[in-house]
Amino acid sequence: MPRRSGFSMWRLFWRGLGILVVLVLLLQLWYLGHVLWWKAFDPASTAFMEAGMARLQEKKPDAELRYRWVDYPRISKSLKRAVIAAEDSRFLDHEGFDWEGMEVAMKKNLKQGRIVAGGSTISQQLAKNLFLSASRNPLRKVQEAVITVMIESLWSKRRILEVYLNVIEWGNGIYGAEAASRRYFKTSAAAVGADQAALLAAMIPNPRYYETRRSARGLLKRKAIIAARMHQVSVPR
């Protein structure tokens, strides 16, 4: 009897493991289907937008997000340069992962004893924004990497930057370059100048905080660094 009981438990284990593998594969296919769809069609919402909406509606049930899609040519070149300079200076050269940048970030974090630098590329950030959460769960990071490979394999760099600039958070309930430009400068994303672009790019790491603290010393320091680097980067055509 004990042997039969042990055999049954192993059979249940392998059956459960098989079901888990199938579910994980189905989830990857779901992600892949969305990546393929969004290669040609613009996202109406993202995981981060849905989380932002839920957060806003906890305090105000009828709250709405500020989000307006604009095509790539209608985003100023200054803003494209500023965001690449700020978030991923090797954007055009890597295939989704900046290993050198990750190594530098890891050394900074070890030196400080806490996380002060990320090292995530624009592609990795986009994968997280579209599908995942802001948690630092190791499994989430693995899933982010898988989606990043899908995006980099199927989309052009221009499409990656276009979607990224249209969906990232730029304040409480503010998503995308057009909504951000209207909110902070009362102009369109196409008309954003170099100085304005540097400020918007500097806000990306903590947009809800900087929305009401645009004179913060740390923000202005980061803005100056970005402004100095903007001319050194290229953007997808």
Question: In three state form, how does the secondary structure of the chain look?
Answer: CHHHHHHHHHHHHHHHHHHHHHHHHHHHHHHHHHHHHHHHCCCCCCHHHHHHHHHHHHHCCCCCCEECCCCHHHCCHHHHHHHHHHHCCCCCCCCCCCHHHHHHHHHHHHHHCCCCCCCCCHHHHHHHHHHCCCCCCHHHHHHHHHHHHHHHHHCCHHHHHHHHHHHCECCCCEECHHHHHHHHHCCCHHHCCHHHHHHHHHHCCCHHHHCCCCCCHHHHHHHHHHHHHHHHCCCCC
Confidence at residue 5, expressed as pLDDT on a 0 to 100 scale: 63
The pLDDT of residue 134 is: 83
Q: Report pLDDT for 176.
A: 98
Tokens linked to 226: 């970005």
Query: Residues in the chain, how many?
Result: 237
In angstroms, the CA 123 to CA 150 distance is: 10
Q: Which of 229, 201, 228 is nearest to 90 (CA)?
A: 229
Whether pLDDT at 137 is above 90? no
Quote the pLDDT of residue 108. Answer: 66
Contact status, residue 59 vs residue 204, Cβ threshold 8 Å: no
179-227 per-position pLDDT tens digit: 999 999 999 999 999 999 999 999 999 999 999 999 999 999 999 999 9
Query: What pTM was computed for the model?
Result: 0.90
Per cent of the chain over pLDDT 90 is 79
Contacts of 70 (CB under 8 A, 6+ apart): 166, 176, 177, 178, 188, 189, 190
Task: Sort 199 into a burial class: Cβ within 10 Å, 0-12 / 13-18 / 19+.
Answer: buried
Taking residues 26-51, what's their average pLDDT?
A: 97
Please tell me which residue, 15 or 223, carries the higher pLDDT value: 223
- Mean per-residue pLDDT for 19-29? 94
Bridge partners of 175, per DSSP, are 67, 169
Selection from 231, 36, 34 nearest residue 129 by Cα? 34
pLDDT band at residue 1 using 50, 70 and 90 as cut-offs: very low
